[in-house]
Structure 1
Amino acid sequence: MTKRTSAKYKLDRRMGENVFGRPKSPVNRREYGPGQHGQRRKSKISDFGIQLRAKQKLKGYYGDITEKQFKKNYFDASRMKGDASQNLIGLLEQRLDMVVYRAKFAPTIWAARQLVSHGHIRVNGVKCNIASRRVNVNDVVELGSKAQEMALVIEAQSLAERDIPDYVVPDGTSKVTFTRVPKLDEVPYPVRMEPNLVIEFYSR
């Protein structure tokens, strides 16, 4: 499990975008970066800086997973057939914690990861506490009986700010089926993601 090491919305301020699409994001009030120098004029960013920024944004969106895990997804995506950037997005969306988040079982990706690590999630009827586990097509992900009554879960299911995407098909309120690996344009990101720049960053 990846521990959150910095303030959740610091990424938003650094990127100047509401990366998680949350109504409480400070970017909704002020778009400049954090710190006393946040309002100074921005200098031109190099190609490397643009690629690094794209990587930080994508990595941060998925709960700031470790560099080792993120790089492993890049290597796996590069070895697969087809467009490596599309493959990378597909692999990230197949993470168990992400499917739990997409299913609206948790209000944030960190809460989804906590649900998994505490043993509240079952995959095809078997308890799983590994957030990075790769969910396969047609796998059924469901909440444990205790989790169904948790305030956190009830809050998540009532959120109007996001919908369950087409590739995660609900069966009632406590069970979903992962029906296909999505493409970039199918993933409901609140901001524009550029996985092609992430591939360029790692393949330098």
Structure 2
Amino acid sequence: MSKSIGPSCKLCRREGQKLFLKGDKCYTDKCPVARRPYAPGEHGQNRKKLSYYGTQLREKQKAKRVYGIMERQFRRYFEEAERMKGMTGDNLFHLLERRLDNVVYRMGFASSRAQAREMVSHGYFKVNGKKVDAPAYNVKLNDVITVVERHRDNETVKGNLDIQRTIPAWLSVDRDKMEGIVVGLPKKEDMDIQFEDHLIVELYSK
């Protein structure tokens, strides 16, 4: 599976905002975005104003980086969103939010989407009683996500659950049982990072 292996904090600086790619570090004063709020590189502080195309491209890159997916997979999500009923932009982010690695992160089992993706790949979770190790697995309404028995004593998982994070309204979590339920469908206002989805739709529609 292809993935970005460069410094995560440079990706946030390039987009000009925190994308919360490094988990707890993003909430401390050690976050490079807070210390150096400009693009990385020798000319990072002297970047020219973006064209409209550049603005569209940056919004698409931001979405890819937040969800940790590469171009070909992101385009497949967009094409699927186009085939669905409703607004393409809304459909796109509904699909991305319902990825299992994102759901695991939003439920608080992981400190970042990258950590959630690794946990899912290593078989930490079951969906409706069956082990699922595909981060891109798309959860559905009433799906039950549980930590498998042999990982329930894992200090990382327990430490993440001990941190009080905001759980979106479409998810319900029982920390004692180490399980969560998909009780609704994601809405745009429930997303932890907001996107100008119309810019991405315009970019791919050219």
Q: Same fold (TM over 0.5)?
A: yes
Higher mean displacement: 107-116 or 20-29: 20-29
Q: TM-score, normalised by structure 2?
A: 0.91
The one of 41, 46, 55 aligned to 2:51? 46
For residue 82 of structure 1, what is the aligned residue in structure 2?
A: 86
Deviation at 1:145, TM superposition (A): 1.7
- Following the alignment from structure 2 to structure 1, what is the Cα–Cα distance between the partners of residues 151 and 4? 22
| Aligned residue-pair number | 199
For residue 71 of structure 1, what is the aligned residue in structure 2?
A: 75
For residue 172 of structure 2, what is the aligned residue in structure 1?
A: 169
| Correspondence 1:1-204 to 2 at 5 A | 1-20=1-20, 22-23=26-27, 24-40=30-46, 42-63=47-68, 65-160=69-164, 162-173=165-176, 174-189=178-193, 192-204=194-206
Superposed structure 1 runs of 4+ greater than 4 Å apart? none
Q: Secondary structure at the match of 2:44?
A: coil
**Unaligned stretches of 5+ residues in structure 2:** none
Percent identity, please: 40
- Following the alignment from structure 2 to structure 1, what is the Cα–Cα distance between the partners of residues 36 and 159? 27
- Following the alignment from structure 1 to structure 2, what is the Cα–Cα distance between the partners of residues 3 and 156? 24
- Following the alignment from structure 2 to structure 1, what is the Cα–Cα distance between the partners of residues 198 and 151? 37
Per-residue Cα deviation, 1:52-87 (whole angstroms, up to 9, x for no partner): 000011110012x12121111101111111111111
1:93, 1:181 within 8 Å by CA — same for their partners in 2?
Answer: no
Deviation at 1:3, TM superposition (A): 3.2
Cα RMSD (Å) of the superposition? 1.5
Higher mean displacement: 86-95 or 140-149: 140-149
Q: Secondary structure at the match of 2:20?
A: coil
- Following the alignment from structure 2 to structure 1, what is the Cα–Cα distance between the partners of residues 168 and 70? 25
Where relative contact order (Cα < 8 A, 6+ residues apart) is larger, the structure is: 1
Per-residue Cα deviation, 1:129-182 (whole angstroms, up to 9, x for no partner): 01101111111111112322222212322334x411111111334100112221
